[in-house]
Amino acid sequence: MSLGRAIAAELHKTATLPAARVAVAIAALGSLGITVLNATGIRAALDSGQLDDVGYTSPVEAAFSAAPLGTVGAVILGVIAIGSEYSANSSDAGGGRQISSTLTVLPRRLRLLVAKAAAVVLLLTGTAAVTLPTCLAASHLIIGISSGEGWAELAIRCAGAALYWTLTALIAFAIAVLARDGTIPLIVLIANSSLVSVSILLSNLTPLAYYLPDLAGMRLFARDTWAMTADALDPLTGGLVMAAWAFGLLAVAAAAFERRDA
Amino acid sequence: MLTITGLSKRHGPRTVLSDVSFEALPGRVTGFLGPNGAGKSSTLRILLGLDRAGSGTALVDGRPYRALRDPLRTVGSVLDGSGAHRSRTARNHLTWVARASGIPRRRVDEVLEQVGLAGAGRARVGTFSLGMGQRLGLAAALLGEPRALVLDEPVNGLDPEGIRWIRRLLRDFADAGGAVLLSSHLMSEVAEIADDLVVIAGGRILQQGPLDAVTAGHANLEDAFFALIDAAATR
């Protein structure tokens, strides 16, 4: 069977999973919600003149500050694309896992893994392509002033944020393949990307922490206004370091997936 | 059709399969009989490309499963239940399977009808009983109109009516020239359904041949089976 058909099938399979819809909703509606909150706060501060209450007034920052929500959605999507294969049915129903169906349908494992990763990337870039411009438009509309950034700069930051989400999803995906489970990677990675980032804590100890995947790619969309990214790698180097993490982990996951018993 | 030759497998120090060889022929129902843990599932999983053998080969039409192009059009299989994620509907599960195998969408309705799940196509797999899960698994196995069926404990969870139904379905499948390989630990079931028998225990084949040849000299299959197990134990 062709890779194109495998990708189409995995795209359909992932997109029709209820948990995938939750992931996309968090990335899209979550980002938009935070953007609206940020923007209304800034608008109120501008109206009352109490600008000390907000760190910035730029509608662009108001939108990109919401991007971490997209990262949470990306983690969920990356993990469940593979975790759903390994979650067992109740023992009353035979205790089977979908992975045995999947591998009997598509026994060439490398091709299957590529198709699954491609499905995740397509879903996320689609989500980002709608979400990020919508967030930017909403924050401009609410705040009502321009930040003075040109279209090109905005497009680059949108692409950067989309890339950050995508690479995060691929890292989560690779970890779930290695773990053959969704639950634990989901808890650890969501906590890391929303509550406490281990990398940010480590960056207080050593600058090497800026080479860890989540911090390395931070300036793909964040700019100097973010305190924690002041010492981070520049967008190009950081993006490459993060991509190296993602593809390195994918290669290890693929080698394990190809070799072991299902 | 399904040819297994010299299959061996170890899990660490434990021997799971030891030189397992047998064949499932077209037009015949082959019963793969053995106690729990005898190596039935391991053999079927290797045949379906899910697990790797230490040595030996398991071939479908002379080719390893993983080398088949669109395997579901050649072999349908059911292992432990539906093989569907519990949050999916039956129809959604069959749709992705069809899509990935290049099988026309109309087959989804046809097989739902064929296995008696036409009314449950929109129900979530998580709400299914074991018997309904088995039927859904079978629906996916039949989707590609294959020439062989490989079924691991297919009557588990089926009610008497369901058992009668699957017996008829497998008989018709074999009579139409298909090869059926089914594993079971239920002797009376296998005696009802199988043309050929392969008896396995402790990862070794104890005997194989047509049903009447294996049971010859014994009152029934159960007596023949335990005579084989006892003989193997005292060897």
Task: Answer yes or no: do B152 and B221 share one domain.
Answer: yes
Confidence of residue B73 (pLDDT cuts 50, 70, 90): very high
On whether both B173 and B138 belong to a single domain, the answer is no
pLDDT value at B176 more than 70: yes
Weakest mean pLDDT among A16-20, A212-216, B138-142, B169-173: A212-216
Number of domains comprising chain B: 2
B66, B161: one domain: yes
| A13-37 b/e (C-beta count within 10 Å ≥ 16 → b) | bbbbbebbeebbebbbebbbebbbe
pLDDT at residue A32 in the model: 97
Distance between CA A124 and CA A74 in Å, rounded? Answer: 7
Exposed / middle / buried, residue A227 (Cβ in 10 Å: 0-12, 13-18, 19+): exposed
Our CA-based measurement puts residue A124 at a distance from the nearest CA of chain B, in whole angstroms, of 20
Could you tell me if B85 and B65 lie in one domain? no
Q: Which residues of B touch A (CB under 8 A)?
A: 45, 48-52, 65-66, 68-72, 77, 79-88, 92-93, 95-97, 99-102, 125-126, 128-130, 133-134, 137, 140, 156-157
Instruction: Assess whether B156 and B230 both reside in one domain.
Output: yes
First to last CA, chain B: 33
Kindly state whether residues B111 and B39 are assigned to the same domain.
no
List chain A pLDDT tens, one digit each, 262 residues.
589 999 999 999 999 999 999 999 999 999 999 999 999 999 999 988 887 777 788 899 999 999 988 999 999 999 999 999 998 887 766 678 999 999 999 999 999 999 999 999 999 999 999 999 999 999 999 998 887 788 898 999 999 999 999 999 999 999 999 999 888 899 988 888 777 788 888 888 888 888 999 888 888 888 766 666 667 888 899 999 999 999 999 999 999 999 999 8
- Nearest by CB: B72 against A90, A95, A105: A105
CATH number at residue B179: 3.40.50.300
Best mutation target among B16, B92, B96 (most A Cβ atoms within 10 Å) is B96
Q: Examine the pLDDT at B210 and tell me if it is beyond 90.
A: yes
Determine contact: A15 vs chain B, CB below 8 A: no
Question: Do residues B122 and B190 both lie within one domain?
Answer: no
Instruction: Kindly list the residues from chain B whose CB atom is less than 8 angstroms away from the CB atom of residue A22.
Output: none
Among B145, B175, B201, the domain boundary falls at: B145
CB pairs under 8 A between A and B: 113
* Nearest residue in A to B48, CA atom: A104
Q: Which residue of A has its CA nearest to B76?
A: A104
Could you tell me if B210 and B171 lie in one domain?
yes
Check whether residue B52 and residue B153 sit in a common domain: yes
> How many Å lie between the alpha carbon of A170 and the closest alpha carbon of chain B?
22
Residue B47 has pLDDT above 80, yes or no: yes
Which structural domain range is residue B92 located in? Answer: 81-145
Average pLDDT over residues B17-34: 96
**Is the domain of B89 the same as that of B183?**
no
Which chain A residue shows the shortest CA-CA distance from B83?
Answer: A98
Residues of B in contact with A5 (CB under 8 A): 99-100, 102
One domain, residues B47 and B117: no
pLDDT digits (tens, 9 = 90+) for B90-113: 999 999 999 999 999 999 999 999
Is the Cβ of A8 closer than 8 Å to some Cβ of chain B?
yes
Determine contact: A194 vs chain B, CB below 8 A: no
Structure confidence at residue A226 (pLDDT):
62
Would you call A207 an interface residue with chain B, using a CB distance cutoff of 8 Å? no
Q: What is the mean pLDDT of residues B72-84?
A: 92
Task: Decide which of B111, B145, B179 is a domain's last residue.
Answer: B145
pLDDT digits (tens, 9 = 90+) for B144-159: 999 999 999 988 888 8
Residue among A10, A89, A102 with most chain B CBs within 10 A, to mutate: A89
Q: Are residues B141 and B158 in the same domain?
A: no
Per CB-CB distance under 8 Å, the chain B contacts of A21 are: none
CB contact under 8 Å between A100 and B50, yes or no, is yes
Is this complex scored with an ipTM above 0.85? yes
> Are B212 and B55 a contacting pair, CB within 8 Å?
no
What average pLDDT score do residues B215-219 get?
Answer: 89
Q: For residues B100 and B93, give the distance between their C-alpha atoms in angstroms, rounded to a whole number.
A: 11
- State the smallest CA–CA distance between residue A108 and chain B in angstroms: 6
Distance CA A229, CA A200 (A): 9
Query: Quick check: A53 and A41 in contact, CB under 8 A?
Result: yes
Query: Given this model, what pLDDT does residue A224 score?
Result: 66
